[in-house]
Every structure is written in C-alpha cells, then in structure tokens.
Structure 1
Amino acid sequence: MIIRIMGEGQYRAPETLCDDLNQIDNRILDLVEEGKADEFRKELSKLISEIKEKGEAIEAKEILQSDIIVPPEDLSIEEAKAVFKGSGIFEG
C-alpha cells in the first residue's frame, strides 16, 4: 500500500503496518468525535511517526498513485472533522 503524508512524501507500507495504522485511525475518529484536540494531535503524530519509521520511503522522483493520503501534523481538530469521519482514512 502506498501512503502519502501531505507535505512530506510517500511511503510503501506492508499490510501488517496497515492493520496497526487502522487501529490508530479508529482512535483518532473517536477523539475527533469527542472534540479532544490534544489527544487527537498526539494520535495523529503517532500515526505519522509509525508510517515514517516502519514504512519504506519512496524517492521523490518516483511518482506513484497513493492509496491513502494522511493529513499533516498541524491539522486542526476542526479540519479533522472533515477528514476523519465514517470509517476514517484507513478502511477496515
């Protein structure tokens, strides 16, 4: 799976990582719904860190279609309400 972090690049993620990311995504959904901005920011930061640490960075010269687009860490909770809804950014 190809994941783009807005403003930071793309990463190739193995399926096992996607399962872990989906769990974080589900927590983010709950926190956004509850309006818990500080906790939301921590989980979004954790999501991005996991992708960077455990995914494989894709060189900028290689152009691939992203399966998932992750918003930047500075996303406000108000903006997050439009992004993290339904089943979130990770299906499942």
Structure 2
Amino acid sequence: MIVRILGEGQVRLDDSHFAELNKLDDELLAETESGDEEGFRRTLGALLDAVRRLGAPLADDALEPSDLILPAPDASLAEVRTMLGEDGLIPD
C-alpha cells in the first residue's frame, strides 16, 4: 500500500503493519472527537512516526497513486477532523 503524508511524500507500507497503525488511528479519532489537543498532537506524531519507521520511502520523482493520505505533522485538530471518516484516517 502507498501512503502519502501531506507535505512529506510517499511511503510503501506492507499491509501487515496496519493493526499497529489502526490502534493509533483509533486513539486519534477518540482524541479528535473529544477535543483533546494534547493527546491529538502526541498521537498524530506517533502515527506519522510509525508510518515513517515501518515504511520504505518512495523516490521524490515516483508517480504512484496514494492508497491512503495522512495529514501533515503540523495539521490542526480542525483540519484532521475534516479528513476523518467514521473509521478514522485509516479504514478498517
């Protein structure tokens, strides 16, 4: 799966990592819904760090369609709210 982090680029990520990412995504969804800004910041950072750590970056000139788009690290709680589906950022 190809994941894009807005403002950073794309990463190829094996499907086997999605259980770990979904756990963070569930936390992020709960923090966004409750307006927990501190928790939101911490969990968004952890989610993006996990994608970077577990994935392999694609070359800057690669033109692959993204299967999943994640917010930029500095995205606001309100911006992420507009990106959320009922399952969060990462569909189950």
- Offset of 1:84 from its aligned partner? 2.4
Gaps of 5+ in 2: none
The runs of at least 4 aligned residues of structure 1 exceeding 6 Å deviation read: none
Map of 2:5 onto structure 1: 5
| CA–CA distance in structure 2, aligned partners of residues 84 and 90 of structure 1 | 9
Map of 1:50 onto structure 2: 50
1:77 aligns with 2:70: no
Map of 2:65 onto structure 1: 65
TM normalised by structure 2 equals 0.94
TM normalised by structure 1 equals 0.94
AA of the residue aligned to 2:37: A
1:38 aligns with 2:38: yes
Aligned length: 92
Gaps of 5+ in 1: none
- Offset of 1:85 from its aligned partner? 3.6
Map of 1:20 onto structure 2: 20
| CA–CA distance in structure 2, aligned partners of residues 82 and 91 of structure 1 | 15
AA of the residue aligned to 2:88: G
Map of 2:29 onto structure 1: 29
The CA RMSD measured in Å over matched residues stands at: 1.0
Q: Secondary structure at the match of 1:86?
A: coil
- Offset of 1:61 from its aligned partner? 1.4
